């Protein structure tokens, strides 16, 4: 299927989720490794020294037995620390015939030549759309302080520049900056934007994605940390950011702007602005094979190794049904992250108007 047909197929699945419950998920949030060489003030993933993470053979089996994903986020840790990251992308590309979109964050701390080589190999797989989120939490000194690594800002700029060059050769690649708003950088977005603009004059507000720092037991392992920004201030800062972003007929921009409007609502109320689509449209798979509804919901459904890598056996299990019932009864955790929000938005198209 060509790229446009795959995009249309993904849009149809999202549309269908407005009118009926999906039989299987279309989006996979997969943490490929918890290894990370950063030392962020907002997250404790870097303290884990993971052992026994899924091997490439196990990931291949999972991809072969669950070949219906149309959108895959390969996250970490730092995904490029996996020497087999290209093989992982290839496993999903070869098995998931309708795969349209693959996204991946990076902390920009790996050797840039190695990242470029691996990216080129991934792009040659011809996944119709591949988006790298370059993490950026502040201007030079602020970013380095939050990330705990001297020189990280400059490395992030180099990675962004490298992807801009790749865009000239590969139509399917794009890069955005991922800004996590926390108590450490609240009120600093505009200055961060201007710092990037000095180096990349063509950058626009649409090249940034904002998330609010949130606590998660099963993913960031940061539930004990005091990281949240003042939500009142954060709401104002996101509202300001929204006024700077351009409107467009591009579905991705429409969805992103809707995400931000709801982020303001979340910051003002502290409550999820929409019904979760976890374990209906999406799931979170960690690097040991454990399945959760989302990165923010520490409610393990099972492990893919226990079911011979066939997710359907967990999908129809009692624990999964209980999660769906809790969501229906309004008992979902308060969260609004990009891992889950887009499925909620596209599953309720009226929210995009
Ligand atoms: S936020 Fe990302 S880069 Fe920072 S410690 Fe966590 S996984 Fe690593």
pLDDT greater at residue 330 or residue 84: 84
Compare 78 and 337 and report the one with higher pLDDT: 78
Report, as an integer, the average pLDDT of 31-60: 96
Structural domain boundaries in the chain: 3-14+25-352
What three-state secondary structure class fits 179?
strand
Among 251, 253, 275, smallest CA distance to 324 is for: 275
CA gyration radius, the chain: 19
- pLDDT, one tens digit per residue, over 119-146 is 999 999 999 999 999 999 999 999 999 9
Decide whether any atom of ligand 1 lies within 6 Å of the 219 Cβ.
no
Is residue 95 pLDDT above 90, yes or no?
Answer: yes
Pocket test for ligand 1, best of 45, 47, 48 (most atoms within 8 A of CB): 45
Give yes or no for residue 2 having a pLDDT over 90: no
- Which residue, by CA, sits nearest to atom 7 of ligand 1? 77
Contacts for 175 with CB less than 8 Å, ≥ 6 apart: 131, 132, 133, 134, 159, 160, 163, 164, 167, 207
Into which CATH architecture does domain 3-14+25-352 fall?
A: Alpha-Beta Barrel (3.20)
Atom of ligand 1 at shortest range from CA of 105: 2
Q: Is 216 in the pocket of ligand 1 (CB under 6 A)?
A: no
Q: What spacing in Å lies between the alpha carbon of 45 and ligand 1's midpoint?
A: 6
């Amino acid at each position: 299927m060509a790229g446009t047909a795959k995009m249309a197929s993904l849009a149809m699945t999202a549309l269908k989720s407005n009118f009926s419950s999906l039989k299987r998920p279309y989006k996979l949030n997969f943490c490929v490794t918890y290894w990370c060489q950063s030392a962020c003030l907002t997250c404790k993933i870097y303290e884990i020294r993971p052992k026994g993470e899924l091997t490439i053979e196990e990931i291949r089996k999972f991809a072969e037995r669950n070949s219906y994903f149309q959108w895959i986020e390969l996250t970490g840790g730092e995904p490029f620390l996996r020497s087999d990251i290209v093989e992982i992308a290839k496993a999903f590309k070869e098995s998931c015939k309708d795969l349209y979109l693959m996204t991946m964050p990076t902390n920009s701390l790996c050797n840039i030549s190695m990242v470029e080589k691996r990216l080129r190999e991934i792009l040659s797989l011809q996944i119709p759309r591949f988006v790298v989120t370059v993490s950026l939490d502040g201007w030079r000194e602020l970013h380095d302080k939050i990330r705990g690594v001297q020189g990280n800002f400059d490395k992030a700029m180099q990675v962004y520049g490298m992807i801009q060059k790749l865009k000239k050769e590969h139509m399917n690649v794009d890069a955005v900056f991922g800004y996590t708003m926390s108590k450490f950088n609240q009120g600093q977005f505009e200055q961060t934007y201007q710092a990037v603009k000095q180096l990349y004059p063509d950058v626009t507000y649409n090249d940034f994605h904002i998330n609010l720092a949130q606590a998660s037991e099963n993913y960031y392992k940061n539930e004990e940390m005091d990281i949240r920004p003042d939500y009142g201030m954060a709401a104002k800062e996101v509202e300001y950011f929204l006024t700077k972003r351009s409107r467009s007929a591009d579905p991705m921009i429409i969805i992103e702007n809707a995400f931000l409007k709801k982020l303001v609502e979340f910051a003002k109320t502290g409550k999820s602005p929409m019904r979760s689509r976890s374990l209906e449209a999406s799931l979170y798979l960690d690097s040991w094979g454990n399945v959760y509804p989302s990165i923010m919901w520490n409610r393990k459904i099972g492990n893919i190794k226990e079911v011979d890598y066939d997710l359907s056996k967990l999908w129809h299990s009692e624990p999964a049904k209980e999660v769906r019932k809790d969501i229906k009864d309004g008992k979902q955790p308060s969260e609004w992250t990009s891992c889950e929000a887009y499925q909620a938005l596209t599953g309720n198209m009226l929210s995009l108007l």
